[in-house]
Every structure is written in C-alpha cells, then in structure tokens.
Amino acid sequence: MWFPYYIQFLIYSVGVNVFLLFTCVIYYSDVFLTNFNRNLLQEYDYIIVGAGTAGSLIGHRLATETNFTFMVFEAGGRSHFLYEIPIIGPLLHGSVYDWQFETTPQENACLAMVDRKCKLTQGKIVGGSSKLNNMIHIRGNLSHYAEWFHGVHNEEYIRQHFDFLEEYFLNIDDIPYQSEMTDAILDAAKELGYEKLDKHFKKGFSKSRVTHKNGKRWTTSDMLDLNKHVTTNALVEKVLIINNKSFGVSVRISDKTHIVLARKGVILSAGTLNTPKILQLSGVGPSKLLKSLNIPIIQDLPVGLNLQDHVGSGLDLILLNKTLSVSAANIINPLNLFHYIQGKGPWTNPGCEVLGFLSTKNLTTPDIEIMVLPVGIASDRGSLLRKLIGISDEVWNEYFTKTFNYHTATFFTVILHPKSKGNVFIKSTDPEIPPLVNPRYLSAKEDVDTLITGLKLAIKFIKTDSLKAIEAHLNTNSFPGCTQFPFFSDAYLECYVRHLTLTSYHPVGTCSMGLSDSKNSVVDTSFRVLNIQNLYIADASILPTLPSGNINAAVTVMANIFFEKNIKHVSHNSDKVFYCHSYDQIYQYLFKICSLK
C-alpha cells in the first residue's frame, strides 16, 4: 500500500530538488554579474532600502513622475520569468530567495513544529514577499486605516488612493483557473446564509482577487527599470546619522562596504523584520537593547516592539474521496505549460481560491478570515511543504501520513486582530546575523478562544450539501498530543491550535506609526522617523495594527500615500541654501558632505 506513495514522494522530490538547484544557479549568477553591472553613484537624492511592494512602487513613481535621482538597494537577487508562474510560489519558500527567518521557541504555540519554532518566510528578491505570496489583493476595513493616521486622513481619502492604484498601477483580476472547491464553497456559504463579499468589506465570502497579468504573477517591482534604478545583492548594514539627520547608508556589495549618500532622504522599505534590524544597528531603538550591544544611542524609540501577525490553523482539515483538478500530480504535469502560456490552466492558480470573513462575536465587522486552499501539505507526500512549515517527524508520521488515501484541502482559519504581541531584536552588531523574532503567538487567551470559535464556524461548511456533493468530509484523525481530549471539544481544539499554529506571513507593527508624543510610536503620520531628519519608513512595519485581511494591498496604499505626502509635492526649486559639514574621522577623510538645511 505504501509503495505508490513512496514512488510519488520520489517523483515530487526529484522535481523539487531540480527546481531548487535551478534557483541556486540563477541566484548566484546574479550575484556574480552584480560585480560587472554595478553603476553606483556616490550620491543620490533618495535611497530606498528594499525592492518589495512598497519600495518598488515608490521607486516607480520617482522614476516616472520626478527628476530626482535615486537608487533602490535590494539584499536579494533578481527575479526570473519562471518565478512568475503563480503555482511556483511555495517552491521559493525556504530557498535562496527567502530570508529563512524563524521564531524563537514558542511557549504557547508551534508545538507541532521542530524545536517549537514557526517558519517566517519573507522574500529576499526583487519584489519582496509579493514574489512568494498567494497574490491576494483585498482592501479590508478602511476604518482601520483612518485610525492609523489618527484623523489626519479619513476613509474617503484612503478609498481614493485605492481607486487610483487599482485603476492606474495594479493588475487585479480573478484567478484564471480554479478547482471544483471554489463553487462548492461559495454555494455552501449561500446555504449558511452568508452574503457575497464586496469592496465595502462586510462579512461574507468571495473568490480571491489576485495581482496577476495574463495568468502570470504580477508585482509592483515589474514596473521598475532594474538596470537603472536597482542594485541587487546589496545588504544595507545601517543608516548613517549625524546630529539627528540621516545622510546616507552603509551598504555591503560583494563583500565590500560602500558609503552612499542621500541628499533628500533615506526610505526604509525592508519589511517588518529587517527594517527594525537596520534601525537598531544604526543606533535607533530601545536604549536597553542598544546598550547591551555597545551601540551608540542616537534615539531611544520602541523599534522592534509591537510585532503582530495573522496566525491561524486548519491545515488538511478537509478530506475528499476524489482528487480535485488542482493537485500535486496535476501541477507537475508538463502539458500544463501549454495552458499556462495562454494564461490558463492549473499553473495560474496561486493557492488560495476563496476568502471568507466572519465574526465570532456576531458583530458587523469580521474578526476571522478563512482562506480556502484546494490542496493540503500532505499532497506532496512530504517532499517539500512539511519542511517549509517545520512539521516534526512525530506529527507527520502520526497525523498527516494517515491522509494519503484522500485528497487533502485546507480551511486555513486566521485571527484578523490578535491581542498577542511580540518583538524583533538584533542579537549582534553583525548585519549578516538574523534578528531574534519572538511573536509570542497565542500568548493571549482571547486569541485562542477566537480561533476555536472560528474553526467551529469553518466546520459548518463541511457539513453542507454543497461540500458533500464533492465528497468532502472532516479529517477525524486525532492530532498527536491532543488525543486525551474528546475530539473537537474546546479542550481538543485549544490543544490543536497550539500545536498546529501557522502564520500567514503577515508581520506588522515593529516601527509603528502614531502621534509624535506617544511612547509607542516610531514614525509620525507623515512616515518620518521621530526626531531624525530625512529618515522615513514605508513598509508593513509602520502599521500599528493588522489590517482586516492579507496585507499586500495595505502596504501598497501606504507606499502611495507616502509618495504623495513626502515626494510628489517637493519642489526642485527650493530656496534653501547649501552648507557643508565635516563629520567624524571615518568619513571626513573620504569626502565632504553637502546637505540642504
């Protein structure tokens, strides 16, 4: 009985390893070519750190709407046309295009993972995490955006920015190819009395709207002229700050450190985990942390605190007696290449087909998101997906392998606004060493209760006639470590979610936006780092709380607002005069620095 599964494992493993070898060849070829293609100036008007969703949008608008000079420094490599295949996204997790972050051992969650650590995939590539995600675009509840700006901007202002982006910049549409699961779930939602989700974001269900173009993955980085405006494989070590004014960055390219100056500003868009790392290395952060590492304190700010993430559970919760049209076997079918070239077929499917937003407290606004995926991690027989999540051998052998006789699908149930908060702190002055990331998942009991109720709501779908019609039923295998509790009792579900804890890879909050006199703020409502001139942050780290849905759309609109507020209306014909400084001994022998005052 196990022989066919073993053969499947071998086939999938060969395919995965061939692809990973290919990614290494592409990545290191780019590293090699960086030495020859680099056209780096000593000084620019703006320096952007990170070519993810936000940094790429800002860079594109700088290039097309202003005469300012700028450079985007990206620590990762360039993308490749094969990486545009939506179904390929998970294969980049854990690869050279992933920062390969992980949490510290968790006390209340991730118990089914190796060493109680959850993986924290973040894109290390031009395009950032938008090259690895499910491509979902959803605005969420606009009232939360207005709260982030403390009344400076209202919901209508945010809506206008979304309308502008969606009309002129973003490519958004339905998934070209979906499994039978999509219509079954939408029909089940009608059975249960849920409405269709619309832009006004009330409770309900809808097909996923994704960022793609002709069936291919699309990101804001696709608009950038990489040869002119982006330097890849460039690790920014720190921001250079003198007299509470940033004037450039220290960046490592091909094992050589360069000092690059910024006349008008440094814009950090390195993401929720890397932006606080760069700031802390630069002397901006909690004084206690900086003192422990002998880093001179420039500003004592709560950098790295307030880490929040969309966390949930529900992997392989659904079993089907028949195989869906989106499956591991169908995905590796080379004939699907011809469909993909035409913008059709299974390869255009990024994973999450349906989104649902529910309230566990019978409120008008949702506190739970359900992402429906037509496959589970057991579908590849353990060749890749279990490693990307970090499932332990015991859990894999005692739970997931028992589903091999079925097609597995996932009701990934996520807490939209968790109360649990963590932190990101550097542990060394070496910029090559990753920070310590402790999200403290499920440390707040309220989060566990919300997630349990959310899973119960998800289970109701499996009992509908619509799901029964495609021969779907609940995975009733008892989860290892939870067998002492009655199956699907509250005690069992609490044990289940604490073991099988999963992140949506949506970290936010480590450089929170807020009022300048707040002890919780790192940037003000104009994206400026408090008490430091010419230093800005525009990425997910500034969001004080999580949006009500996948975060890529929120990051995009915040980047657009940043550009409008801080760059678009800045005139070249300034009447400010130049003056020159001599800085500390390290830099005064290199060059004299002129800046505007």
Residue numbers belonging to the annotated binding site: 236
Cα–Cα distances (Å) from 23 to 10, 13, 82, 92, 128, in that order, read 20, 15, 10, 8, 16
Number of Cβ within 10 Å of residue 458's Cβ equals 23
CA 436 vs CA 199, 288, 307, 595: distances in Å: 37, 15, 12, 36
C-alpha span between 433 and 120 (Å, rounded)? 15
In Å, how far are 53, 152, 409 from 503, measured between CA atoms? 20, 32, 17
Alpha helix stretches (DSSP H) within 67-220: 89-92, 142-148, 155-168, 180-191
Do 553 and 137 contact (CB within 8 A), yes or no? Answer: yes
Q: Work out the angle between the directed axes of helices 445-462 and 180-191 (0-180°, nearest 10).
A: 100
Strand, coil or helix: 378: helix
Give how far the C-alpha of residue 535 lies from the chain's centroid of Cα atoms, to the nearest Å.
Answer: 23
- Binding-site residue positions for FAD: 236
Count the Cβ atoms, other than its own, within 10 Å of residue 514. 21
Pairing of strands 535-537, 502-503: unpaired
**CA angle, residues 552, 373, 77, in degrees to nearest 5:** 45
The Cα 490–Cα 488 span in angstroms is 6
